[in-house]
Structure 1
């Protein structure tokens, strides 16, 4: 199924075309040329034509985890089992616990620091893998990793450090928004897959801490750095991503004020963060809404689609079909996708990272579906 910029089709029909492209084009890339069959790891990126891996410098645990999520959601048991085994074999730290950030081209540990973003995606991927295939080892991993995060990454005021050295002894990254957002996502997935009051309590504490440290009160936006940090910024894509997370969390974040803040953040990001002629989502704004970075990255476009589909109401309902068409025309092609465009529309990153399939999966899952006949 193909999309036309002049198509009058409804959002469910247009969304089905996106999912069809994903099944026909995207998944085969990462079973085939994007997959190292010797190491059982996804390459970091493929060329724009989808035929050649970029020269290998590293393999990241986060990239493997994201692909584990993608193929679990695709119900590809064989590939998911292979990725789960590879994640443990290459990235689990047998001496200090936790997960290495990366291995080298031969699969040997490369960057051994402990990264909260990475640990969040291990929890997230194992939750989805367990939910789909009921692998008990995955359930054990997600519980163990979650407990480790709460104890070893703990920072003052309910926050968590972004990075620590290999033995968790020295802080190498202070709290920042992005890994905390993905930890929220991971704990939501974990409590859905393996209900446990510990996940609910962790989410409640984290929501309160994020509201105190990151919410820019005038806009409701969640800043990238703690409030008062130099060179802080607001990313429209992250406001749309947070909007979906807070909606999914429902009562778990009650009392934090995040639900009300993200309603206002959605409006702020929609008003200031979109190039309205094309529908492209800018990378970053300042606190007044001025554009700091006009780059349009595919992940931010997918988050806007998901947020529109989630928000509901007549305005979002009417806008969604047009936004799907714009996204398809500007960011998808016969061999895959465009990773980044400049504000003027020029392609600034043509190669396709293995991590992007995660964003496509999450966005497409939220889009409306055609009624069964």
Structure 2
């Protein structure tokens, strides 16, 4: 297993990271292109998203001290986040800008702000610069004052001027907010963040956990056409299982109970492929196999008891089915055929967090 993981890590450092240092970097904008094609050419830019910039800020922050020029790249990404996406008039950050750098989708969404908090926490943990902490604090303030709905949850999306779009809460941005709160607590003591995190998890248990199967739904209970995603169950499981603060909470107990069911319904026993979306009957709403879900399942397995065999199998499945000499396959379809050949700038974040979990596991 150690040799297998060493080769996967080598692939990350020798193949994946250089894609975003070289062809994936738009030096004029000081931003990563949204995606590269199979030949390492950028797809023609339609937009640049703040979330993608933040994920790459996390990536290069995590590589400081390991990869040459990682610190300079992280600094450039941090500057670009402020320069291109910050809304000087209303506060917060725009969702996206156009290829020329003008604001495009000017809404304020929780997913973006969660990733900005997550990235700034990791970056500040590495560099301890006051400016980075001030952006981290500004993000926390916007989350508490603008997105929070007073019941432990947060609006998924608001208009540019913070007026309501009636979005209500959605699972995925709330999960990344929990991840960002945990990242903040890993670099400083913060009673307000700790309280917000506990209240968030209490509210998730109440509003999103199906009472019969203990799975975490993507929309609040009672929503029309609801579904659950095995990749997100595994991602939540890892966050809760690995946090001394959240371990033993009701939400943790629910995801612990649902783990085996999620494996039975959502993981192919032959190939180890994780299904994208399931309804509560266990039928696939979307049978696409995505690299991020593979990475999340693998990372979650590192925290399961007696999991050495299954960790090794899933690491092999990730390497054989999704990694290749020139990068990675983002998606395979229901038949296992490669269905998406481009490589988005947002994916290395998932691989980096997965490999971090494996480093801790192999210790």
**TM-score (norm. length: structure 2):** 0.96
Q: Does 1:178 align with 2:169?
A: no
Q: Please point out which of 60, 71, 87 is paired with 1:77.
A: 71
Q: Could you give the per-residue CA deviations for residues 181-235 of structure 1, whole angstroms, max 9, x where no partner exists?
A: 0000000001111221111011011111111100112222110000111110010
Q: Please point out which of 95, 104, 107 is paired with 1:110.
A: 104
Alpha-carbon distance change, 364 to 20 in structure 1, aligned in 2, over 3 angstroms:
same
Query: Does the residue aligned with 2:155 lie in a helix, a strand or coil?
Result: coil
Q: Tell which deviates more after alignment, 164-173 or 123-132.
A: 164-173
Shift of 1:368: 4.0
Equivalent position of 2:67 in the other structure: none
Query: Does the residue aligned with 1:173 lie in a helix, a strand or coil?
Result: coil
Q: Please point out which of 264, 276, 292 is paired with 2:269.
A: 276
Q: Please point out which of 28, 36, 50 is paired with 1:38.
A: 28
Shift of 1:173: 2.1
Q: Does 1:251 align with 2:245?
A: yes
**RMSD (CA atoms):** 1.5
Provide the C-alpha distance between the structure 1 equivalents of 2:342 and 2:204, rounded to a whole number of angstroms. Answer: 34
Q: Does 1:26 align with 2:16?
A: yes
Query: Does the residue aligned with 1:171 lie in a helix, a strand or coil?
Result: coil
Provide the C-alpha distance between the structure 2 equivalents of 1:97 and 1:322, rounded to a whole number of angstroms. Answer: 46
Shift of 1:370: 9.4
Provide the C-alpha distance between the structure 1 equivalents of 2:81 and 2:219, rounded to a whole number of angstroms. Answer: 30
Equivalent position of 1:63 in the other structure: 52
Shift of 1:108: 1.1
Shift of 1:30: 0.4
Provide the C-alpha distance between the structure 1 equivalents of 2:201 and 2:313, rounded to a whole number of angstroms. Answer: 33
Q: Tell which deviates more after alignment, 301-310 or 283-292.
A: 283-292
Matches within 5 A, 1:1-373: 10=1, 12-49=2-39, 51-75=40-64, 76-155=70-149, 157-252=151-246, 256-311=249-304, 313-314=305-306, 316-368=307-359
Q: Could you give the per-residue CA deviations for residues 246-287 of structure 1, whole angstroms, max 9, x where no partner exists?
A: 113332465x50111111221111111011111100001111
**Per chain length, whose mean CA-contact separation is higher, i.e. which structure has more relative contact order (CA < 8 Å, sep 6+)?**
1
CA contact (8 A) 1:16 1:369 kept: no
Provide the C-alpha distance between the structure 2 equivalents of 1:287 and 1:197, rounded to a whole number of angstroms. Answer: 37
**TM-score (norm. length: structure 1):** 0.93
CA contact (8 A) 1:15 1:369 kept: no
Provide the C-alpha distance between the structure 1 equivalents of 2:152 and 2:317, rounded to a whole number of angstroms. Answer: 40
CA contact (8 A) 1:285 1:293 kept: yes
Provide the C-alpha distance between the structure 1 equivalents of 2:235 and 2:6, rounded to a whole number of angstroms. Answer: 22
Query: Does the residue aligned with 1:161 lie in a helix, a strand or coil?
Result: coil
Ranges in structure 2 where 5+ consecutive residues have no aligned partner: 65-69
Shift of 1:369: 6.4
Shift of 1:172: 4.8
Query: Does the residue aligned with 2:44 lie in a helix, a strand or coil?
Result: coil
Alpha-carbon distance change, 237 to 253 in structure 1, aligned in 2, over 3 angstroms:
same
Q: Could you give the per-residue CA deviations for residues 323-358 of structure 1, whole angstroms, max 9, x where no partner exists?
A: 111111110001110000001011111100000010
